[in-house]
């Protein structure tokens, strides 16, 4: 006899999803919190972006421009891109999800790397497809392993470059080799959320690859270098046929009016971007050196965060508890298979120095 369902069931695969857990900010009562758990900007948003928000309240009854034209034009102007090849989203999360929904169906596979950004398996499963993990080598994406993970069912390869939470990156020559080795009908999604921070001669975010290859797209965010995480705004650069497909599926008003105005002002404020990059460059070097000096393993990071490897889960938990007690909230990354590591976002000078001092004490160096 057939059982009568008692309630609607989610689509296959949905209950296999482990919900994304955002970075925490809880500290003991009375302690000033310093959130270093979500790779947010310690420099904050551009004054021009704040000013752009001043009059938003006058037109809250009006829908935003569903195509985000003025923002796409601003991005196009600054990055030298055709605005017709840009799609904006409610954070780059929205664009990753949109890409999965548009290109994956039940039975398909999508590849991501071993310690790749955790939202990839979520969007893959939500689209009914199966995530396939490509092993990394020394916490770094490995092109041959990614290519070996591709099967006849693969439709998308997601690559965060630089990757969160490892901070490691692939030189553009390797990304090109990856594209060249992929079947033409597999979409390569280059997630360049941290691109602006990268100060490596061998790095490119992927703009040229998108311009020259019909199977490559690049996603970017305003949440990191532009300090606009609260507004949820990201963008994607893609060949015309991909833009056309995504725009059929995209929410009609997926980017709110405040985000569009602030982001257009932010992307044009190159001085603010330069200041934010400089701050990060100075402090990622100092934090990395200081923590290596006390015996911690820190992979070279090209982003605005470092991965601190304690080599032991108990020690990592103790360090996390000690820092939280003092108000410094870093990110446990056990869900990425890195139970002995904390990820630390680069903060202000004062906060960076305080975390270094606390860890020196913890490691018995002071």
Give the C-alpha separation, 298 to 144, whole Å. Answer: 25
Binders of ligand PMP in range 112-131 (CB under 6 A): 117
What minimum distance in Å lies between the beta carbon of 250 and ligand PMP?
Answer: 15
Exactly one of 99, 164, 301, 304 binds ligand PMP (CB under 6 A); that residue is 164
Q: Is the peptide bond before 162 cis (omega within 30 degrees of 0)?
A: yes
Give the C-alpha separation, 133 to 50, whole Å. Answer: 41
Exactly one of 91, 121, 227, 347 binds ligand PMP (CB under 6 A); that residue is 91
Residue with smallest beta-carbon separation from ligand PMP: 91
When asked if residue 92 is in the footprint of ligand PMP (CB under 6 A), the reply is: yes
User: Nearer to ligand PMP by C-beta: 290 or 304?
Assistant: 304
User: Nearer to ligand PMP by C-beta: 96 or 209?
Assistant: 96
When asked if residue 304 is in the footprint of ligand PMP (CB under 6 A), the reply is: no
What minimum distance in Å lies between the beta carbon of 140 and ligand PMP?
Answer: 14
First-to-last CA distance in the chain?
72
Q: Is 340 helix (H, G, I), strand (E, B) or coil?
A: strand
Give the C-alpha separation, 295 to 365, whole Å. Answer: 10
What minimum distance in Å lies between the beta carbon of 107 and ligand PMP?
Answer: 26
What minimum distance in Å lies between the beta carbon of 93 and ligand PMP?
Answer: 3
Q: Is 325 helix (H, G, I), strand (E, B) or coil?
A: helix
What is the length of the chain?
366
When asked if residue 168 is in the footprint of ligand PMP (CB under 6 A), the reply is: no
Mask of contacts with ligand PMP, 213-242, x by CB under 6 A? --------x-x-----x----x--------
Exactly one of 141, 160, 242, 333 binds ligand PMP (CB under 6 A); that residue is 160
Q: List, edge to edge, every strand of the sheet that includes 305-309.
A: 305-309, 338-345, 331-333
Mask of contacts with ligand PMP, 37-56, x by CB under 6 A? --x-----------------
User: Nearer to ligand PMP by C-beta: 218 or 356?
Assistant: 218
CA distances from 192 to 3, 23, 24, 85 (A): 48, 20, 23, 16
Give the C-alpha separation, 79 to 68, whole Å. Answer: 16
User: Nearer to ligand PMP by C-beta: 305 or 359?
Assistant: 305
Q: Where are the alpha helices (DSSP H) in 127-256?
A: 143-149, 172-181, 207-212, 240-249
Q: Which residue, chain included where needed, has tokens 């790779």? A: 39
Give the C-alpha separation, 303 to 101, whole Å. Answer: 28
Residues that bind ligand PMP (CB under 6 A): 39, 91-93, 117, 160, 164, 191, 193, 221, 223, 229, 234
């Amino acid at each position: 006899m057939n059982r009568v369902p008692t309630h609607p069931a989610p689509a296959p695969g949905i209950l296999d999803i482990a919900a994304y857990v955002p970075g925490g900010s809880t500290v003991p009562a009375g302690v000033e919190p310093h959130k270093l758990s979500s790779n947010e900007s310690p420099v904050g948003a551009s004054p021009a972006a704040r000013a752009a928000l001043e009059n938003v309240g006058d037109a809250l009854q009006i829908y935003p421009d569903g195509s985000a034209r003025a923002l796409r034009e601003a991005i196009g102007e600054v990055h030298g891109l055709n605005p017709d090849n840009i799609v904006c989203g409610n954070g780059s999360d929205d664009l990753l999800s949109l890409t999965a929904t548009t290109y994956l169906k039940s039975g398909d596979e999508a590849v991501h790397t071993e310690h790749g950004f955790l939202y990839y398996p979520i969007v893959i499963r939500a689209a009914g497809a199966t995530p396939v993990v490509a092993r990394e080598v020394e916490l770094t994406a490995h092109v041959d392993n990614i290519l070996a993970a591709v099967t006849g069912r693969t439709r998308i390869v997601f690559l965060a470059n630089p990757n969160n939470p490892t901070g490691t990156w692939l030189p553009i020559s390797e990304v090109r080799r990856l594209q060249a080795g992929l079947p033409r009908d597999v979409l390569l999604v280059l997630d360049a959320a941290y691109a602006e921070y990268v100060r490596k001669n061998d790095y490119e975010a992927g703009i040229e690859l998108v311009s020259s290859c019909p199977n490559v797209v690049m996603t970017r965010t305003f949440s990191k270098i532009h300090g606009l995480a609260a507004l949820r705004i990201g963008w994607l650069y893609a060949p015309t046929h991909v833009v056309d497909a995504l725009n059929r599926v995209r929410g009609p008003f997926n980017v709110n009016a405040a985000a569009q105005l602030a982001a257009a002002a932010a992307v044009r404020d190159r001085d603010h971007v330069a200041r934010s990059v400089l701050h990060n460059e100075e402090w990622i070097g100092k934090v990395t050196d200081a923590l290596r000096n006390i015996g911690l393993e820190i992979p070279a990071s090209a982003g605005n965060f470092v991965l601190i490897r304690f080599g032991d889960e108990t020690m990592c938990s103790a360090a996390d508890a000690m820092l939280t007690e003092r108000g410094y909230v870093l990110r446990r990354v056990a869900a990425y298979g890195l139970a002995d590591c904390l990820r630390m976002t680069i903060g202000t000078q004062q906060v960076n120095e305080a975390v270094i001092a606390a860890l020196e004490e913890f490691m018995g160096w002071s």
